[in-house]
Amino acid sequence: MPASLSGKWEMISNVNFDNYMIALGISASLRKIAAKLTLKKKIERQEDQFIVKTTSTFRNYTVTFKVGQEFNEFTKGLDNRHLKSLVRWEGNKLICEQTGEKKNRGWTHWIEDDKLHLELFCEGQVCKQVYKNVSKTR
């Protein structure tokens, strides 16, 4: 059973995504498309390095980082902003702080009941997503 974030995941719930996107300044037409997507994640980990790929039928987004090492993030195809991002562990939660134009922005990933949990936050809005594991087991 998946005890780590690594693997393939498919979204099964998505709460308050619209308000999160509004906080990011995403247009109504784009939000309408985004709201209908079933997002997938592929998370690869090699020691302190992570590659997180978010994919959908509409757009894809990949971020690569090392835990504890600040990096420049460009949210290409999302809100297209340049951020200074820093990911750290807090217990078994992987927490990213995204510093830039938007205040109190970031995300938290953790595993609970074999599901991948994600909170995306921006300026007081919190979007909560849950993903089921769809890694091939053989």
CB of 75 to ligand 1AG, least distance (A): 7
Q: How many other β-carbons are positioned within 10 Å of the β-carbon of residue 38?
A: 12
| 21 binds ligand 1AG per the rule CB under 6 A | yes
Q: Which member of 5, 9, 23, 54 binds ligand 1AG (CB under 6 A)?
A: 54
Cα dist. 27→17, 35, 86, 88 in Å? 13, 12, 27, 31
The one-letter amino acid at 19? N
State the binding string over 117-136 for ligand 1AG (x if CB under 6 A, else -). Answer: -x------------------
Helix (H, G, I), strand (E, B) or coil at 69: coil
The smaller minimum CB distance to ligand 1AG, of residues 24 and 86, is found at 24
Which one of residues 61, 100, 130, 132 is an interface residue with ligand 1AG (CB under 6 A)?
Answer: 61
- Containing H/E element for 133? strand 125-133
Q: Tell me which stretch binds ligand 1AG (CB under 6 A): 2-10, 36-44, 130-138.
A: 36-44
Q: Smaller CB distance to ligand 1AG: residue 62 or 114?
A: 62
Contact 18, 36 (CB under 8 A): no
CA distance 15 to 1: 26
Q: How far is the CB of 138 from ligand 1AG (least distance, A)?
A: 26
